[in-house]
A and B are shown apart, each in its own frame.
Chain A
Amino acid sequence: MVEISNIEKFYKTDDIQTLALNKFSMKVKEGEFVAIMGPSGCGKTTLLNIIGLVDNADAGSYLLNGKEVSHLNERKRSKFRKQNIGFVFQSFNLIDNRTVFENVELPLIYNNVKQSERKEKVESLLKKMQIMHRRNHFPQQLSGGQQQRVAIARAVVNNPKIILADEPTGNLDSTNGNEVMDLLSDLNDNGTTIIMVTHSEHDAKYSHRIIRMLDGQKVSENMLKI
């Protein structure tokens, strides 16, 4: 499903050029749950941004569902992104001036789903996530765990093929963290491909495979489950 070969990414400031990804390659099959680990600044999030079509690589190839997407312009990337990818962030990234319902509804709006259908889908998902009673609350009125559940609901509402999670439990206590990991695990069991960046060995154990990175390169790859 995701096939990355020899990806490179540079960051330039006035007098320094930093190599964030150095000829990085990886493959993720449909239905897989992959965890990416490594110290801060090793390029994990950069990799996730490139996989999520939020950023472009400077060199290398990226095939998504067999289609080369590394050089698409922003308009086409946006279209690919909204149809295929869901995001979960460490800091939840909910929009403060929208209610729980409206936050979850957003991807459906951008995919031109009819209002009645949107209502049905969002409400059923909120029930499933056990946050239906909070549907009219604003993000700042929720606990961290509830916010992340809303973020996950928003990521999956459009039935994306891949969910990209960037340290999804980083801002949560262990109880809420476990709940979130269980949710992601359930989604994976139902066929959603998940690529997760994490510092937590505990969370990584939920995945099928752990890729470890250092200085923009892959240093190891461990299979946990088949």
Chain B
Amino acid sequence: MFTNFLKIAWRNLINNKLFSVINIIGIMVGFSFSLLIGLIIYYESTFEYFHKDKDLIYRVVSETKSPTETFFYSGATLALKDAIINNSNFEQVGSIFMSQPNNVTVKKTEKTFNTPKYVVFAEQDYFKIFNYTFLAGNAINPLENESHVVLTEKSAKRYFPDLALNEIIGETLTYDSLEVTITGIVEDLPKRTDLVFQEFISWPTILKSRNRKLVEEKNWNLTTSDFQLFVKLTPNADLEDIQKLFDRLTRENRNNLVIENSITNSIRLQPLLDMHFNELYQIHNWQDKRANKSLLKNFGLIALFLLLLGCANFINLTTAQATQRAKEIGILKILGCSKQQLITQFMAETFLLVLVSAVISVALMDTLLIVFADFVPEGLTIDFLFHPEILICIFILIVCITLLSGFYPAFVLSKYKPVKILKNNFLVGNKKAIPRKILTVIQFGIAQVFIIGALLVNSQINFMLTKDMGFNKETTVSVYQPLIARNLNNLKSLASKIKEVEAVETLTMCFNPPASNNVFFSDFTRKTDSADITKQMRFLFGDINYLNAFDIDLIAGRERKHDTVKEVVINETALKTLGFNKPEDAINEKVILYPDTIKIVGVMKDFHQNSLHNPIEPLVLRGDWYNAKFSQFQMISMKVKPLSGGRISEVINEIENRYKEVYPNTEMKLEFMNETVKDFYGREQKISKLLKWASGLSILISCLGLLGLVIYTTNMRVKEIGIRKVVGASVLEIYMLLCKEFIILVGIAFIVASPIAYYLVNQWLNLFTYKVSLSISNFLIGGLIMILFSFVVMSITTLKRANSNPVNSLNFD
């Protein structure tokens, strides 16, 4: 029976080509989006699933809460391990410490590889927590002694492409100055993991590195995300007990600084399976894209709305076509077809249509993965589409869409009374068109919200990108000093060489450019007659050319005299925070920056230190006071003359050549300030892109639906049009007659959608401290876009009909 239903359904699909195409496109768009988001969610949420003991493995993470801010660290204090290793809740405890070597040299070939990624110092137990497969070498204790290293197969092949894995064992690598022997080679972990490390240097070797002091000191009050502790719990471990232990340890080991500043440190266990999704804590491949729940949620919502639009199209067009199906329904009922059988027939038709849409969506998925590459995780390929879980989801989705779009029309159509149909007494009256009108309004309303949303989000992004940050971001470029060669003399040497580049106007040595994600805080105390005012301030470290290089204006006082003179320049917000009334009042005032007493010599204009999400903070510009011991300067920022496209790469080459003279074995890391600012808004730009797609596709689906409805109603009114023309109606009058009803619906949709769009965008804008004001013009433009598209779509059909010879219309009847 069902095959028979499908056969008839296929014929209906072919016989009503236009309506079938409209319906298929509508459903296919929503289906494709849903499938894409489904694939992304599946991919992201199955990270680390391959580990045998995944439910018993945790990462130890930390939280530091000050009265003003909370910081989350994906690492823990180095002191923790010794305190927990003998606790019966833990089966294994294994540490790693991120190493960022500048280069690695293969002794055998004398070949040097720059900035190897994912190198860590690792403890022996790390390999017991995670089940790595040893392909060669010592699988029992490869990391027990100092100066040993275990490589993944991929790394081993990179360094020794011509050797068999067994031959690589015993070879020597030199990370910067650390010489290590290869004692083991492990299989690479499958792709869906954040444990991306490829080279594991034995833990004892860390004592030969620059991190020695940190490791030996084991400071309870110092947490770094570079040190990560993984634990495997015993099957009966008590999580509450463990948390109590952590709380006790942090409480007992607080130092005075922590107590005096009302800082609360806490340590927690983070389940391995939570690692990929929890944005509070960093993952190791920080350079790669990471799952972003809110973006996925937005993506999912858009997919849902597009699906609903497609379903609405189907419902609208199917119920509008009811009169054409009426005869068939009447005859089938007279012949004894039950309501259930009719519903099954219509559901089979819907199922087939959804199935065709689904097949097209699946076929398009490869292209969609490319088009939406910004949102798609790197390892997600078309192969995931054929995972059994995904195939089941596709089937469930097909069934859900079939029910969602097919049930109402099936119910309405199967309800018709055969006698009315036989008497030709069957007309879709105004009353019956009400659900269709409501659906059309909802459809256009959704499209309208997307359009207005896209316009407003875009204007906020433009506002953020073009807003004056308070410093020169357009012509400033920064060059980082390599970490391993961090040395003030080298930096000075580089600075003097870069000065020779003709396009460079001025340069400064500093720790950070004016706006960045790096933050350095400290307390700052102003002593007044009545009381001490102590406030937390942000600090920028820069030489005396800093203000000049970034075109930051001084509004009172002067620039500092020398990098090592203990003078500072504060910004306007700091001025207010410290209780000064006028900029001049602050000049030559003494303040305490423990342990020094220093002098404020200037007040600079406020500028934005981060994205416009955040307010301007009190800020202090200071020099490099202790450069004899350790320099705070790590980069050179320079103002360059405005350059044309080709000239820019020439200048970069010139700078790079000079860089290579100072740091011959390292790659230059260069940042354009305007790119840095742009990067602050990566997520917003993704939302904007998503909304543009959503707007375009919702316009497409809605307009296709409108086209279908207009064609249908125009055909239904052919006789009326003929008669009206015979009695003297003009083309314009006929055109308006046919369009009026739909334009009113689009107008209502605009009125309904505007406050919703206003509310949603306003909610989003609340995330920003600095935001664009919501202008009515954006709403009007959104409305006009929709009306314009509607007119174009309606004109395609109605003008042809309005222009036709009346006799054709009358004959048609």
B422 contacts A54, CB within 8 Å? yes
B328 contacts A106, CB within 8 Å? no
Among B38-46, B175-183, B332-340, which stretch is in contact with chain A?
B332-340
User: Of B4, B12, B335, B339, which one neighbours A97 at CB under 8 angstroms?
Assistant: B12
Alpha-carbon gap, A95 to B11, bound state (A): 12
Chain B residue numbers with a CB within 8 Å of A128 are none
A78 contacts B419, CB within 8 Å? no
B327: Cβ under 8 A from any A Cβ: yes
B328 contacts A81, CB within 8 Å? no
Chain B residue numbers with a CB within 8 Å of A98 are 8, 11
A49 contacts B11, CB within 8 Å? no
B334 contacts A97, CB within 8 Å? no
B334 contacts A75, CB within 8 Å? no
A109: Cβ under 8 A from any B Cβ: yes
A109 contacts B1, CB within 8 Å? yes
Chain B residue numbers with a CB within 8 Å of A94 are 331
User: Of A52, A79, A96, which one neighbours B334 at CB under 8 angstroms?
Assistant: A52
Chain A residue numbers with a CB within 8 Å of B15 are 96-97
- What is the 8 Å Cβ interface bit string for chain B, positions 490-523, against chain A (1 contact, 0 not)? 0000000000000000000000000000000000
| Cβ distance B335 to chain A, nearest Cβ, rounded Å | 5
Q: Among residues 98 to 123 in chain A, which have CB atoms less than 8 Å away from a CB atom of chain B?
A: 98, 102, 106-107, 109-111
User: Of A45, A93, A111, which one neighbours B331 at CB under 8 angstroms?
Assistant: A93
A154: Cβ under 8 A from any B Cβ: yes
A95 contacts B331, CB within 8 Å? yes
| Cβ distance A158 to chain B, nearest Cβ, rounded Å | 8
Chain B residue numbers with a CB within 8 Å of A95 are 327-328, 331-332
B341: Cβ under 8 A from any A Cβ: yes
Q: What is the number of residues of chain B that contact chain A, defined by CB distance less than 8 Å?
A: 23
User: Of B328, B333, B335, B418, which one neighbours A96 at CB under 8 angstroms?
Assistant: B328
Chain B residue numbers with a CB within 8 Å of A49 are 419, 422
With A95-B328, A109-B1, A109-B4 as known contacts, state yes or no: A54 contacts B334, CB within 8 Å.
yes
Chain B residue numbers with a CB within 8 Å of A75 are 338-339
B419 contacts A110, CB within 8 Å? no
With A54-B419, A109-B4 as known contacts, state yes or no: A93 contacts B336, CB within 8 Å.
no
Chain B residue numbers with a CB within 8 Å of A83 are 336
Chain A residue numbers with a CB within 8 Å of B333 are 78
* Cβ-closest chain A residue relative to B333: A78
- What is the 8 Å Cβ interface bit string for chain B, positions 312-346, against chain A (1 contact, 0 not)? 00000000000000011011111111110100000
* Cβ-closest chain A residue relative to B16: A97
Q: What is the number of residues of chain A that contact chain B, defined by CB distance less than 8 Å?
A: 26
Chain A residue numbers with a CB within 8 Å of B419 are 49, 54-55
* Cβ-closest chain B residue relative to A166: B422
Most buried by A among B4, B327, B339, B419: B419
With A96-B328, A97-B15 as known contacts, state yes or no: A82 contacts B8, CB within 8 Å.
no
Alpha-carbon gap, A22 to B333, bound state (A): 27
A82 contacts B335, CB within 8 Å? yes
User: Of B8, B12, B336, B341, which one neighbours A81 at CB under 8 angstroms?
Assistant: B336
A24: Cβ under 8 A from any B Cβ: no
Alpha-carbon gap, A93 to B337, bound state (A): 15
A62: Cβ under 8 A from any B Cβ: no
Chain A residue numbers with a CB within 8 Å of B341 are 110
A87: Cβ under 8 A from any B Cβ: yes
- What is the 8 Å Cβ interface bit string for chain A, positions 73-86, against chain B (1 contact, 0 not)? 00100110111000
* Cβ-closest chain A residue relative to B12: A97
Chain B residue numbers with a CB within 8 Å of A52 are 334
User: Of B1, B328, B336, which one neighbours A82 at CB under 8 angstroms?
Assistant: B336
* Cβ-closest chain B residue relative to A86: B335
Alpha-carbon gap, A110 to B1, bound state (A): 10
Alpha-carbon gap, A89 to B336, bound state (A): 16
Alpha-carbon gap, A54 to B15, bound state (A): 29
* Cβ-closest chain A residue relative to B329: A95
| Cβ distance B423 to chain A, nearest Cβ, rounded Å | 8
User: Of B1, B12, B338, B423, which one neighbours A78 at CB under 8 angstroms?
Assistant: B338
Q: Among residues 31 to 57 in chain A, which have CB atoms less than 8 Å away from a CB atom of chain B?
A: 45, 49, 52, 54-55
With A49-B419, A54-B419 as known contacts, state yes or no: A110 contacts B336, CB within 8 Å.
yes
Q: List 17 A-B contacts (CB under 8 A).
A: A49-B419, A52-B334, A54-B419, A75-B338, A75-B339, A79-B336, A87-B334, A87-B335, A93-B327, A96-B328, A97-B8, A106-B335, A106-B337, A107-B335, A109-B1, A109-B4, A110-B335
New A-B contacts (8) at CB < 8 Å, excluding given A45-B422, A95-B328, A106-B337: A79-B336, A87-B335, A93-B327, A95-B332, A97-B15, A98-B11, A107-B335, A110-B338
Give 9 closest A-B pairs by Cβ, nearest first: A82-B336, A110-B336, A55-B419, A97-B11, A54-B419, A93-B331, A107-B335, A106-B335, A95-B328
- Chain B positions near chain A (C-beta within 8 angstroms): 1, 4, 8, 11-12, 15, 327-328, 330-339, 341, 418-419, 422-423
- Chain A positions near chain B (C-beta within 8 angstroms): 45, 49, 52, 54-55, 75, 78-79, 81-83, 87, 89, 93-98, 102, 106-107, 109-111, 154
